[in-house]
Structure 1
Amino acid sequence: MPAASLRRLAAWALSATVLGAALAASPAPASAHASGERAIVVAAHPLAVDAGVAVLQRGGSAMDAAVAVQAMLGLVEPQSSGIGGGAIIMAYAADSGETTVYIGREAAPAAAIPALLDDARGNPLPRAEAMLTGRATGVPGAVAAFAQAHRAHGKLAWNRLFDESIARAEAGFRITPRLARHIHGSFPQAAAPDVRAYFSDASGRPLRSGDLLRNPAYAATLRVLAEGGADAFYRGPLTPAIVARTRDAPMPGAMTADDLDRYRPERASPLCRPLRRHVLCVPPPPASGVGLLQLMALLEATDIDARGPDDPQAWFLFAEASRLMYADRDHYVGDPRFTAVPVAGLLAPDYVRARAGLIGARAAAAPPAPGRPEGAPHPAPDATDEPGGTSHFVVVDGDGNAVSVTTTVESFFGSGRMVGGFFLNNQLTDFAWDGEHGRAGMANAIAPGKRPRSSMTPALLLDADGRLAGALGSPGGSAIPAYVGKALVGLLHWGMPLPEAIALPNLVARGTRFDGEAGRFAPPVLAALRERGIDIRPGAGEDSGLHGVFLRDGRWEWGADPRREGTAAFPLR
């Protein structure tokens, strides 16, 4: 979006009420910092941070460093992301003030049909089975998106961005406690043959925290990718192996070399709206940025800014606004090339006020129905289930350019199928495919070449002059908009330091469910919420992995979610 437009949006934001005073802080996170340094890398693993810093120190841009971070995450955090998956990249260019989105969402192969994930009797497969089939893998988009973004924002040659990951794959890395929990997890992929083989020692013993793991196959793949670029992945030496692995039993997939050859990432304009004294920019559909913007607009229509983290009414408002947002998002958001997504209608001030007016004194037992914004189509009720296996990272370089990236293989270890030292995604299970409601009419139904709806919502914050003021995002499947929204409430409504906003308890209210970190809320808050019809239960799926930066008084304040193993580093001058 042009800088002039962003300045206008930011000016509107200035008319909002001033930030409320910081209230009681939550438990301190594992990592927090403020620095006058201009460049910073924040990611979910120290080795990924180091890889990004090394590229910045070689004179690379934020985007150069982002490519290096992703390459390393695919090695050290393979349960969450990798080159066999997809990514959504938000890029800020300091010289022009432009913010650009690069959408590398995976796509269904040309031979995909609505019954793609049905069994032989025409019944939808149980998710635990569907994730492990060859049919679950969409055409990967991460490599194409990073290559496209690098051409626009890179400074170093592409082949100089993989050195650290290649060396680490050959030398090996130590299994972290979080990766060890996934290796020994109870989810289906943990028992998949490729997963068990990769994460076992010579005697067949599953690896434990602290064990050394080498991946020479991944090093070889990265060498091919470094020298051949994205073409090596989509129409070169890596292509046949990817296709062949998806066509193995059980339930071979329909992906072809032509599907990979035809894949194109999308360069798009962000959705930007005023938020307090800032402008919040997020990716358009099929990502869920419109949901995050609507959630924040709904909360702006309440008095949440006058409250704080110890006030049960604040969490009640957050929960009820979240339910309204999810009702709309789940019903309307899909791939806009295949379904009309009423973005403008969902964010129209009159519509938002009307939806916010539905928040009463007590949560209704029945889930809220989707609204009817202007321009809305008539899709069938949604039937999508989105588990999370995702990561988020942020890079800012010394020139003020920034990258905010959410990246994924969908569920943990993707489909559990490995090729060339990396896991393939199971992203097609992010479509609505249970068949209950006439799936062809759902906004997120399966179709050839279609991208499934994504909950990923990497965000950038700009100031009144359209300059970078922060970046934020999280993994977490369908909970991502709630996780990011919670952090933004703490940061911008309650004036909390970013690390404390990230560490606030998670609450994900969607439909009839109120999932959250019940043990981290004070008992009086839980009791007051129950009186209002909200009984928080321990959440399903993975925890948040919020990572971000925020410019406060001219210094970068950063936060890495204490629920994971992330950190940050500043390149040496």
Structure 2
Amino acid sequence: MRLHTRARVLAQLGFVFFMSQAAVHAQLQPVPAQDVAPEPSSGYTEKKAVTAKKFMIATANPHATRAGQEMLKAGGSAVDAAIAAAVMLNLTEPQSSGIGGGAFIVSYDAGQKALNAYDGREKAPASAKGDRFLDAKGKPLPLREAINSGKSVGVPGLLRVMELAHQKHGKLPWAKLFEPTIRLAENGFAVSERLHTVIKLDKTLRANANARAYFYDAAGEPLAVGATLKNPDFAAVLRRVAKEGPDAFYKGEIARDISAAVNGQAQPGGMTLQDIAGYQARERAVLCGAYRAYKVCGMPPPSSGGIAVLAMLGALERFPMSGVRPNSTEAVHLFSEAGRLAYADRDYYVGDPDFVNVPATALVSPEYLKSRSALIRPDVSMKRAAPGVPAGVKLAWAPDEESEIPATSHISVIDPAGNAVSMTTTIEAVFGSHIMVRGFLLNNQMTDFALAPEENGLPVANRIEGGKRPRSTMSPTLVFDADGKLKMTVGSPGGSAIINYVTKTLVGVLDWGLDVQQAISLPNMGSRNRATEVELGSELEKLSGPLKALGHEVQAIEFTSGLQGIVVTPQGLVGGADPRREGFVLGE
């Protein structure tokens, strides 16, 4: 199933969005916001960069940022702060991430000058087969039917990956990291404008009895802005996990409830207690590459983010981007062309490296990226890029152009010792599978696999198999300067557009000399090897004519990123959060 097919059926999920007057421009070809942003914008709030000397944390929600700050003030590490923030996001931003989902963590140990990558991606149940999302005629199921079912749920990985990272880098006791969220879950918090908005716009959440009881009032209306929301069931789960460790989640009655919920759906998922108990987080080798004077490091497969961000930067390196004006036709053209090349390779090659031989190193080698960059012409768009063939690699796959639905969250932290974390966490679609168990939502990550396992007789690298992790676009990223010193931590939610969001911010800081807040606030742009996309309502819309003259098909869309970033400067730390969401930065 191709992206345009997925876009058509996204509307079936029940999300309704409102487009601005700016969408109706004669030169543009706007697409409905539900085609690309099922987690909608809840407004745009201008933000200024935050500065600090000692430590800093940036998350998608003020409560989560404060939870992380509490750990840093108590002497905790960057990993401690990130864990506390991630747990809090489950409570206050439940539509985006939580213990029913997974995460990728890229960390830097300043004392050891060591980089680590931790994979907490969800896994398919052992019983999963290639026909999991095919109907009786061998055709892919409608996306709504696939997502809102037990079939879409993968074995959650968040608690296990946080446990692994804490064992390696934690300073505070495990139980302490849960205290802020337990406290708030029991005492209650005010429903934010964003949470109210996503509840209101979701038309299928109330179908789950537990979710209906939690997110709606007695009259069946979405909880109002400012209403007090308590979650004692979730607090009870966290108390167990805080005391007993993640085994309390992966073994015993909580695991039984997860399995029962997944298998009690009209389309059961076949997730067994053995699937849940057997989940293991993985430590993987960080993927790094050079960009001008910098070293850029990200997550390796099963994420495609590290490969694709480095691929875009590598394609742009031969162009003097520092002399290209931000928000210009030239900037959008070059950025979009680099994206076409990166997404073509990402769509073709990337899958779970435990099942697929992903040529990650070859795809980001300087020689290969120079050959890819040579395909970019300054005077005309290539329109559509084919996957390249790195040295020693054979073509053996069919491409998978399906894209994650954007509902995720990101955390960036730098602690007083100079340790850093870039962590992206998700349950996939807004409210995940819409299945709620003991106060938390289960993911729908299995629909990140290709819905059809093969095409034209060729297997898809990202096809579903038992025990396999689906491809992701999450791109937690760390940057180092020419002297090897930490320069930056950044990442974003946004489904398949994450790669463009992160690369935009890197170019903004590293090439254009913007502070991180200015770079994050830049209008979003890029191509996912299809149309050239510009952010709806931004100044980039006026570039449609010049871009079309270069051969671009231009679409104005609601690009709801959720970037969080921190940059190390000679004067101290500078942090930024996306004005498109509830991002919040604190430091000392």
Residue 486 (str. 1) matches residue 491 (str. 2): no
Q: Residue 279 of structure 1 aligns to a residue in which SS?
A: strand
In the alignment, residue 142 of structure 1 is paired with which amino acid? Answer: L
Q: Residue 519 of structure 1 aligns to a residue in which SS?
A: coil
Q: Pick the aligned partner of 1:400 from 409, 414, 418.
A: 418
Distance 2:303 2:205 in 1: 25
Distance 2:52 2:251 in 1: 45
Distance 2:224 2:284 in 1: 42
Distance 1:336 1:269 in 2: 12
Residue 268 (str. 1) matches residue 268 (str. 2): no
Q: Any idea what the Cα deviations from partners look like across 1:406-463, whole Å, max 9, x if unmatched?
A: 0000110110001110000000000011356158711101011110001001001122
Distance 2:374 2:207 in 1: 48
Q: Any idea what the Cα deviations from partners look like across 1:99-121, whole Å, max 9, x if unmatched?
A: 10011000101100001122344
Distance 1:187 1:203 in 2: 16
Q: Residue 31 of structure 1 aligns to a residue in which SS?
A: coil
Distance 2:281 2:417 in 1: 26
Distance 1:78 1:407 in 2: 11
Q: Pick the aligned partner of 2:165 from 149, 154, 160.
A: 149
Distance 2:555 2:281 in 1: 39
Residue 280 (str. 1) matches residue 296 (str. 2): yes
Q: Residue 302 of structure 1 aligns to a residue in which SS?
A: coil
Distance 2:457 2:354 in 1: 17
Q: Which residue of 1 aligns with 2:370?
A: 353
Q: Is the 8 A contact 2:297 2:479 kept in 1?
A: yes
Q: Any idea what the Cα deviations from partners look like across 1:283-314, whole Å, max 9, x if unmatched?
A: 11111201111110101022323202142111
Q: Is the 8 A contact 2:98 2:426 kept in 1?
A: yes
Residue 169 (str. 1) matches residue 185 (str. 2): yes
In the alignment, residue 566 of structure 2 is paired with which amino acid? Answer: V
Distance 2:274 2:328 in 1: 56
Cα 1:545–1:62 shift into 2, 3 Å? same
Deviation (angstroms), 1:188? 4.4
Q: Which residue of 2 aligns with 1:329?
A: 346
Q: Pick the aligned partner of 1:307 from 324, 337, 353.
A: 324
- Return 5+ residue gaps in structure 2 as ranges: 1-43
Distance 2:112 2:432 in 1: 37
Residue 434 (str. 1) matches residue 452 (str. 2): yes
Cα 1:29–1:555 shift into 2, 3 Å? farther
Range moving further from structure 2, 521-530 or 554-563: 521-530
Q: Any idea what the Cα deviations from partners look like across 1:33-74, whole Å, max 9, x if unmatched?
A: 343422111101000011111111222111111111011000
Distance 1:345 1:466 in 2: 23
Distance 1:392 1:77 in 2: 11
Deviation (angstroms), 1:522? 4.6
Distance 1:192 1:504 in 2: 38
Q: Any idea what the Cα deviations from partners look like across 1:137-169, whole Å, max 9, x if unmatched?
A: 001111100000000101111111111101111
In the alignment, residue 304 of structure 1 is paired with which amino acid? Answer: M
Q: Is the 8 A contact 1:183 1:190 kept in 2?
A: no
Q: Any idea what the Cα deviations from partners look like across 1:187-224, whole Å, max 9, x if unmatched?
A: 64465544333211123222122221111111111101
Deviation (angstroms), 1:397? 1.3
Residue 253 (str. 1) matches residue 274 (str. 2): no
Q: Which residue of 2 aligns with 1:510?
A: 528
Distance 2:412 2:475 in 1: 13
Q: Any idea what the Cα deviations from partners look like across 1:323-343, whole Å, max 9, x if unmatched?
A: 111001110011111111111
Cα 1:410–1:438 shift into 2, 3 Å? farther
Cα 1:68–1:242 shift into 2, 3 Å? same
Q: Percent identity?
A: 44
Q: Which residue of 1 aligns with 2:74?
A: 58
Deviation (angstroms), 1:523? 5.4
Residue 158 (str. 1) matches residue 194 (str. 2): no
Q: Pick the aligned partner of 2:436 from 410, 418, 424.
A: 418
TM-score normalized with structure 2 length: 0.89
Distance 2:477 2:518 in 1: 18
Matches for 1:34-49 after TM superposition, within 5 Å? 34-49=50-65
Q: Is the 8 A contact 2:312 2:503 kept in 1?
A: yes
Cα 1:439–1:163 shift into 2, 3 Å? farther
Q: Is the 8 A contact 1:440 1:446 kept in 2?
A: no
Q: Which residue of 2 aligns with 1:12?
A: none
Please, what is the CA RMSD of the aligned residues?
1.8
Q: Is the 8 A contact 1:189 1:412 kept in 2?
A: no
Deviation (angstroms), 1:537? 1.7
- Return 5+ residue gaps in structure 1 as ranges: 1-27
Cα 1:383–1:463 shift into 2, 3 Å? closer
In the alignment, residue 470 of structure 2 is paired with which amino acid? Answer: P
